């Protein structure tokens, strides 16, 4: 499949990519723009990572509104949004040949983050406190996998409150048109992967 690309430097002037910095109900806490990530380095440098494709941004705004209706004062805390292909390659080079490679999309195929159509999110309450979801962001254990939640609950490794928070997050995101994946509770995509790769621009 041929993927059409756009350079990161051209994205700010492109009408289909918008900033989510001032979006109501959203708190940006971009982990790859600092050192609180599994690499331990700032991978974004001067890049403003608070961008999404307009379709994903619209869905995210809807999810934040749904959350506010469920939990007044709560916000979605965005941990990653648009991730350029050049950053995806840095992540891939770090995990290639390790057990963690299954959690990082091969940049040759194109991470959905690189199209601005995926977002990593968690919940925070009305006091700005991040909620306990059972693991940290970018945890590579089975405990982070939605497909393992029932087993983790039965084993006592995930408690009912943590599961309830994950279910609340998923409900808000799914009602807004996102879908999650089996391996990461925080990761949501705004459309079908095949459609995205065939029809949208990958940001390099």
- The maximal CA–CA distance of the chain, rounded, in angstroms, is 50
182: tokens are 């089996």
Catalytic residue among 124, 149, 184, 189: 184
CA neighbor of 104 nearest in space, from 48, 45, 183: 183
Mapped to the 3 state alphabet, what secondary structure does 56-111 carry? Answer: HHHHHHHHHHHHHHHCCCCEEEEEECCCCHHHHHHHHHHHCCCHHHHHCCCCCCCC
Chain-centroid distance, C-alpha 203: 16
Catalytic: 184?
Answer: yes
Residue showing tokens 């050049």: 86
Residue showing tokens 């331990």: 40
SS3 content of the chain, % helix, strand, coil (to 5): 40, 15, 45
Q: Which residues are known to be catalytic?
A: 184
């Amino acid at each position: 499949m041929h993927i059409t690309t756009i350079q990161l430097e051209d994205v700010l002037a492109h009408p289909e990519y918008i900033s989510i910095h001032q979006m109501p109900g959203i708190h940006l806490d971009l982990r790859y723009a600092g050192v609180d990530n599994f690499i331990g380095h700032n991978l974004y440098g001067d890049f403003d990572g608070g961008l999404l494709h307009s379709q994903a941004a619209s869905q995210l705004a809807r999810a934040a509104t749904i959350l506010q209706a469920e939990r007044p004062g709560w916000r979605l805390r965005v941990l990653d949004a648009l991730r350029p292909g050049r950053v995806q390659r840095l992540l891939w080079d770090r995990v290639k040949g390790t057990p963690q490679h299954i959690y990082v999309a091969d940049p040759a195929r194109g991470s959905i983050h690189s199209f601005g159509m995926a977002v990593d999110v968690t919940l925070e309450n009305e006091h700005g406190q991040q909620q306990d979801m059972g693991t940290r962001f970018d945890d590579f254990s089975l405990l982070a996998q939605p497909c393992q939640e029932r087993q983790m609950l039965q084993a006592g490794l995930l408690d009912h409150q943590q599961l309830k928070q994950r279910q609340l997050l998923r409900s808000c995101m799914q009602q807004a048109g996102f879908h999650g994946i089996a391996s990461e509770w925080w990761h949501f995509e705004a459309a079908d992967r095949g459609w995205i790769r065939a029809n949208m621009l990958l940001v390099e």
